[in-house]
Structure 1
């Protein structure tokens, strides 16, 4: 793997998948998205998960963009433990499992070293659990995030990296969110690393044209910086 694909670089990767999916107000977990026929008990159970999702998103952005690099790994560990506490109360929340995976993957990128290898496996397990609950969660963000993992981590015998599987997963995420900033950015990054810069440029142009996500301004701004950095390489 190149330096770009090192575990240390996974902060960039998971950043990114990490702007995962939709804004909270667009999420299936949001109360506004509940069917009009939903029972009061359904709404009551959704409210804590929606609030928890918003908390994880906000704290993740703060760590990624406003916390000194030397303190990020510990901060991500604390946030991952918070995600696990939320999941204990809402174990069937695909959205919370997706974000637990994003946080664990971000921690692996911030920390590096041998411990990162176990952390990316834990992140993979979270994404797989999310997909087993709801394959369409967060507009395909679990697929995109899992595909990013397979793309970024080393392959056998060190870890589970697999570009063929990454391609399949990233394409699945793109099919669920064809105009998304994250789905197109990660697809462009993958294509560039595969030497297909012509297709990568098309994807990156779609990422640049993606509509802003309400409530995700910090994440969108960071992603657009990553888009500009990728553009300089292709």
Structure 2
């Protein structure tokens, strides 16, 4: 698996049908916040050598939360995000299996509520599709990736994550002017309440990618 995805993750069209959405209980909301905050701490503040074990533990916590609320699109999304970033910390052959599990989790979330967390399942699934190797090694598909990322932007046009990951996709496709525009939107994204650590980390990634894009445009 492409290690740049695995380290960056810290994402066809819409599914043909959707199941009814389910509101999170108070306990589920607390679990969601814990997953979000702990993920940001591990991904942006923990030394790299300690991340694999920490993400594995967090994946177990995500599974436990889902046992109580298996129809929560929000918890399914965050299970997928944790699995994706655990794959990045692990690397090697085991990473692709984790990426496949993450894909399944995002697809389940989309079947339940495509709009959950401002379309984050589209962002995360699209990122997986453009970063995972294609057949026969993996399931990567750049065309499908772009479709998914554009769907994410349709739901959250000003968000930092969909703009950053679409910019990263465009950079890899050598579409530098478009990547620059997406990164400028990511820079201007409004802060997410309670997500200060994640926002700070993502802004550092935006700035790093901006430097690469501007170097290509010189």
Instruction: State the partner residue of 1:219.
Output: 198
TM-score, normalised relative to structure 2: 0.90
Instruction: State the partner residue of 1:35.
Output: none
1:14 offset after TM fit, Å? 1.6
Give the Cα separation in 1 of the matches to 2:38 and 2:130. 26
1:63 offset after TM fit, Å? 0.9
Give the Cα separation in 2 of the matches to 1:183 and 1:210. 10
Number of residue-to-residue matches in the alignment: 204
Across the aligned residues of Structure 1 and Structure 2, the Cα RMSD in angstroms comes to 1.5
Structure 2, gaps ≥5 residues long: 12-20, 214-218
Structure 1 residues 152-231: aligned runs within 5 Å: 152-231=131-210
Instruction: State the partner residue of 1:38.
Output: none
- Give 2:76's match in structure 1, choosing from 88, 97, 100: 97
Give the Cα separation in 2 of the matches to 1:10 and 1:167. 15
Please give the per-residue CA displacement for 1:130-156, whole angstroms capped at 9, x wherever unaligned.
101101110010000000000111111
Structure 1 residues 29-40: aligned runs within 5 Å: none
Give the Cα separation in 2 of the matches to 1:11 and 1:222. 16
Instruction: State the partner residue of 2:26.
Output: 47
Give the Cα separation in 1 of the matches to 2:203 and 2:157. 17
SS at match of 1:168: helix
Please give the per-residue CA displacement for 1:6-39, whole angstroms capped at 9, x wherever unaligned.
5322244322x6xxxxxxxxxxx9xxxxxxxxxx
Instruction: State the partner residue of 1:65.
Output: 44
1:100 offset after TM fit, Å? 0.2
Give the Cα separation in 1 of the matches to 2:151 and 2:44. 28
Instruction: State the partner residue of 1:149.
Output: 128
TM-score, normalised relative to structure 1: 0.84
Query: 8 Å contact 1:94–1:131 — kept in the other structure?
Result: yes
Moved over 6 A (4+): none
Give the Cα separation in 1 of the matches to 2:180 and 2:46. 31
Give the Cα separation in 1 of the matches to 2:164 and 2:3. 19
Instruction: State the partner residue of 1:131.
Output: 110
1:187 offset after TM fit, Å? 0.7
Query: 8 Å contact 1:8–1:110 — kept in the other structure?
Result: no
Query: 8 Å contact 2:110–2:121 — kept in the other structure?
Result: yes
2:67 is equivalent to residue 88 of structure 1: yes
